[in-house]
A and B are shown apart, each in its own frame.
Chain A
Amino acid sequence: MEPRKRNQTRASIPFRAVVAGFAGIAVVLMALAWPAPARAITEIDITRGNVEPLPIAVSDLAGRSEVERNLGADIAEVVAADLERSGLFRPIDRRAFQQKPEDMQVMPRFVDWRQINAQALVTGNLTSQPDDQIKAEFRLWDVFAEKHMVGMALSTPRENWRRVAHLIADAIYRRLTGEKGYFDTRIVYIAETGPADKRIKRLAIMDQDGANHRFLTDGQHLVLTPRFSPTLQEITYLSYFDNKPRVYIYNIDTGKQEVLGDFPGMTFAPRFSPDGNKVIMSLATDGNSDIYVMDLRTREARRLTHHPAIETGPSYSPDESEIIFESDRSGRQQIYIMNADGGDVRRISFGEGRYATPVWSPRGDWIAFTKSLKGTFYIGVIRPDGSGERLVAKGFLTEGPTWAPNGRVIMFFRETRGSDGGGRVRLFSVDFTGMNEREVITPTDASDPAWSPLIP
């Protein structure tokens, strides 16, 4: 008994000592680790900023010869115009520039650019290459951080210089906003000429900034609702060739066009699927319109809606899992959404007035539509779940919204009533937030615009 007891005592003494030791160490550690007289680091929250266009200086591209310098200046001008048109940038008047393009080959003198309040600076140079090629290099600088942000060199045949400019503008836009650009794109639309009773409608195409305009059809047959393929330089549209309204496909590069499927009735309101492999459209038979999808590889058509009401204006979601369309099944035109196989139809628009021509944005977050209410037409956007409806443009007749490939900008057409009764129809673009509306200059009256994807 005795020894055991002693053992116990012996054992308990070191244990206590250990505990005490640990406690002591802990106290010392805590004392050391405790933030000295606890001065918290000062923290400041900034919750408001300005949403003004970013001041940017686009310097001419430097060149060694007169020709190079001229072209360098032209490119800079197109870049600045692209950026300005987006509404997100404010190119600074080049007369304020203090440093010449030639002096910035290595590194700009940032002080000079800060002085004129430029937050970003574009420099570059242009050199002629053999075979009438040019090489354009550019660099984007953060003036305040004195940092190089992005740079690129592009070689191309000389006549392609505008595309070079658009590509540079896209790179700048992308770097400064985080969003894909949309300047290297084209627009197809319906060019309209002649008096109202003898209107000639031709398919026309131009760069997003209005340059390189040309007509694709000669106006003999009525054409309507052109839509760009999201992947190829192809257009689908409705033509009254031989007075039979049919959906056609037109290849811009080859000029070839073909009718899409031989249906018993009239096909209209075509639109490509995001992968470019299908065309979704309406088919009217016996006074009833329903939505069909045709696979361009197999040429097989499938019917998606079965309803006695008029279903039309279909548009795929970017992931092709769903389709939005308009229907008057409730008595008035409204926007509906359904699964890509035609199941689970839900209505998403519940406002007053009539909703038509829904178009899903390539970014997926918004749907643009046309709305008519009390004699006025609007272009609006709404979320795919039916929330957040906002009207971004209005007019006596505004219609036909189409999205820029980055899902930021909407183009549409607007008809204004002339005093003599003759209307004027023009294209307009507007940021989907409702800001920055601009007219898109076209040589003739214009309707039904369709924005191309970025040119591959």
Chain B
Amino acid sequence: MRQAAIISAFGHLLLVAVGYFGIPALREEPLLSERVIIVEMVAITEERNLPQTVIDDTEPEEPKTAEQPPPPPPEPPEPEPEVVTLPEPEPELAAEPEPEPVETVSLPKEVKRPRGKPKPKPKPDPFADVLKSVEELEKKRQTREPDDDAKTTPPDIDPIEQALAQANTPFSDSIPLSMSEIDNIRYQIQRNWSLPAGARDAQNMVVTLRIQLNPDGTVTGVSVLNESRMRSDPFFRAMAESTVRAVLKTDRIKNLSPEKYDLWRDMRINFDPREMFS
């Protein structure tokens, strides 16, 4: 009886142990060479699908960054020092302080005729980000340093992805341009885009360009898709022309993968300054 109980207890323990640790592999076949597959749910275009060639020399980083140090914000009024310096109208100074001519501000039309009660709640100023106030200028002056991110950050390519891509990601030209490739194009054009500072209603001015490229990346054609508005709206025209200039100034988009020429020979570029004003 006791023996039976012991056997039973042992049996149960064994059962629990097996349940917990599993049955030891009896036929210890060497497993297929292990490979970790990272599965990430992303939209197809967000997947990196870079041919190795592109990855390596991503950005011959244009020297521009160096020659354009974070522009000091324009002098905020400093009344205290009664140093009576003249307004320093020397052109150099003015040139670089990026008086951000400001992104203009264009005000939502409705504001124009406020009629009626003042809105109960002043909504957050959509331009607060771009427009400066005295305090901000001062604050910025102290803290601003490294430069504006987005503008100068090259498309980020992190080492892991790079390794993965080099290792064994199959490259397929049937997949749309990858994030990095799009970043690459975006970055090259964006750094040449100078908004007409001060355009009104800039938040309503999304300009769509169609651009055509040669296999070597040279821009062969640029056209504004919403052209009719160019004729009727001088602000929009100024904005649209600035985008065309950005593309023309870019002249040749570098680091494109030739295998995907079909994907970038003809593209639409949406210039949308809204984010800059919100």
Taking Cβ atoms with an 8 Å cutoff, the residues of A that contact B are: 39-54, 84-88, 90-91, 93, 119, 142, 144-145, 149, 174-179, 317, 319, 321-322, 337, 346, 348, 363-366, 378, 380, 383-396, 398, 408, 414, 416-419, 424, 428, 431-441
Contacts and interface: CB of A to CB of B under 8 A. Distances in A.
A337 B118 contact: yes
A388 B273 contact: no
B177 to A, nearest CB: 6
Interface stretch (B28-36, B108-116, B161-169): B108-116
Contact of B186 (A44, A346, A408, A417): A44
A419 B80 CA distance: 10
B62 to A, nearest CB: 13
Contact of B194 (A52, A380, A383, A384): A52
A91 B95 CA distance: 8
B134 A393 contact: yes
A436 B73 CA distance: 9
A441 B89 CA distance: 10
B119 A433 contact: no
A53 B245 contact: no
B132 A433 contact: yes
B76 A437 contact: yes
Contacts of B245: 119, 142, 144-145
Contact of A418 (B82, B117, B119, B125): B82
Contacts of A395: 77, 79
B122 A386 contact: yes
B101 A51 contact: yes
Sorted from nearest, which 6 A-B pairs have the closest CB atoms?
Answer: A387-B122, A439-B87, A395-B79, A178-B235, A436-B99, A49-B193
Given A46-B186, A47-B274, 6 more contacts: A142-B241, A179-B198, A337-B118, A387-B119, A392-B132, A417-B79
Contacts of A119: 194, 245, 249
B50 interface: no
A438 B86 CA distance: 9
Nearest to A435: B99
B190 A49 contact: yes
A431 B101 contact: yes
Interface stretch (B1-9, B52-60, B261-269): B261-269
B105 A437 contact: no
A395 B78 CA distance: 7
B264 A438 contact: no
18 contacts: A43-B270, A46-B193, A47-B272, A47-B276, A86-B101, A119-B249, A176-B238, A178-B199, A346-B117, A386-B122, A387-B122, A387-B123, A417-B79, A428-B77, A433-B104, A433-B131, A434-B132, A437-B74
Contact of A388 (B127, B238, B269, B275): B127
A210 to B, nearest CB: 10
B95 A346 contact: no
B94 A53 contact: yes
Interface string B169-212: 00000001100001001100111011111111000000000000
Contacts of A438: 87, 89
Given A42-B267, A142-B245, A394 B76 contact: yes
A47 B199 contact: no
Nearest to B196: A177
A39 B141 CA distance: 48
B80 A179 contact: no
Nearest to B263: A42
B172 to A, nearest CB: 13
Nearest to B247: A144
Given A346-B118, A365-B111, A433-B132, A177 B276 contact: no
B79 A177 contact: no
A439 B78 CA distance: 12
A178 B269 contact: no
Contact of B113 (A45, A319, A388, A431): A319
Given A46-B189, A145-B248, A433-B130, A394 B79 contact: yes
A40 B134 CA distance: 47
B193 A179 contact: no
B190 A46 contact: yes
A348 B150 CA distance: 37
A352 B154 CA distance: 44
B82 A417 contact: yes
B268 A44 contact: yes
A49 B76 contact: no
B48 interface: no
A46 B176 contact: no
Contact of B199 (A40, A175, A179, A419): A179
A45 B272 contact: yes
Contact of A364 (B105, B113, B262, B267): B113
Contact of B193 (A50, A321, A390, A435): A50
Interface centre among A85, A364, A428, A431, by most chain B C-beta atoms within 10 angstroms, is A431
B101 to A, nearest CB: 4
Q: Which of A45, A91, A388, A434 has the most CB of B within 10 A?
A: A434
